[in-house]
Structure 1
Amino acid sequence: MLVREAMTGEVRWYSPDTPIQEVARVMRDEGIGCVPIGENDRLVGMITDRDITCRGVAAGERLDALTCRAVMSPGIFFCFEDQTLEQALGQMQERQVHHLPVLSPQKRMTGLISLGDIALKAESSILAPLAKIAARDAERHLQAA
């Protein structure tokens, strides 16, 4: 199965200058764990719920004064929509991430794929248990950091 068949499309970007409280509300209301951050039509970072917790709350920052730029993870890891789920899962496991932006062959962001997407779409294949193992391993890695 290809990434384009399992990804979540129509993903909303946020500016690096968007207040972090706004992004946190969207994540809560939509039940999502990360959002892409873009500037000048380019993907420049990602924000996860963990970024907000560790770089904002735990650092003692005033959340009403923080923007996405202050807590986002720069340096984007991504996959392409024509890659297989096995390839995307391998990238996630290698980089210890739960989400990857999905790019078209023209390097335009077309969606996001998560370990959960892979587990749901591939539940009848060998990938479902692998996605669950990768999620558990990534969580352990993050807790140890």
Structure 2
Amino acid sequence: MTCINAGHSSRKRVSDRIRAEAIPGRIRNHQHEAKLMKVRDVMHKGATFVSAETRVDVIARQMRDADVGALPVKSDGHLVGIVTDRDIACRALADGKDPQTMTATDVMTTRVACCAPDDDLALAIKIMENKRVRRLPVIDADQKLIGMVSLGDISHKVGAGLSGEVLRAVSAHHR
């Protein structure tokens, strides 16, 4: 599994590599709101997860029951991928495959955009915008999953102006 943008693989913090001038103007105008907070202030700790061997139909029921659109995939305590509702729809159902015979390994995304608990919230927002994702697994320095942060979590903690701009940026490819 490759955790892109996590910063832990190179031991150099991602926030050191992303410059403020790369942030679009509308979001930059609200950036001070997010710079004052850390991911740990917003994230859900101890996220629900599945194993790589979990069947796709079971994953879909877990998503429904937990009212979430993505579940991280763990192996030996480490994040190895993520399964989204879109992964299930596009990689299983749309192709006519049987979700009772497929596992997380068959549909999961392995190049997962992640963040760390001590990252500035502004960095997590930037990663979401760049990767066009609405959720990020939060991993520690040992690449262990410790939680999740979503656009919904962010919108509950920051001002309406920033959360609206982030949603627009993440959803830009749907226009």
Normalised by the size of structure 2, how large is the TM-score?
0.74
Which SS does the other structure have where 2:106 is aligned? helix
Q: Is the 8 A contact 1:7 1:113 kept in 2?
A: yes
Q: Is the 8 A contact 1:36 1:47 kept in 2?
A: yes
Distance 1:128 1:136, change over 3 A: same
Unaligned runs of 5+ in 1: none
Instruction: Tell me which residue corresponds to 1:114.
Output: 150
**Count of equivalent residues:** 139
Q: Report percent identity of matched pairs.
A: 33
2:75 counterpart of 1:39: yes
Instruction: Tell me which residue corresponds to 1:129.
Output: 164
Instruction: Tell me which residue corresponds to 2:22.
Output: none
Structure with higher Rg: it is 2
Structure 2 distance, partners of 1:133, 1:119, is 13
Structure 2 distance, partners of 1:73, 1:50, is 10
What is the root-mean-square deviation in Å for CA atoms of aligned residues? 1.6
2:132 counterpart of 1:96: yes
Q: Deviations over 1:58-110 (max 9, x none)?
A: 01101111111111011222101111111101011111111111123443321
Structure 1 distance, partners of 2:140, 2:146, is 6
Normalised by the size of structure 1, how large is the TM-score?
0.88
Alignment of 1:39-118 (within 5 A): 39-118=75-154
Which SS does the other structure have where 1:47 is aligned? strand
Structure 1 residue 120 displacement after superposition: 1.6
Unaligned runs of 5+ in 2: 1-36
Amino acid at match of 2:172: D
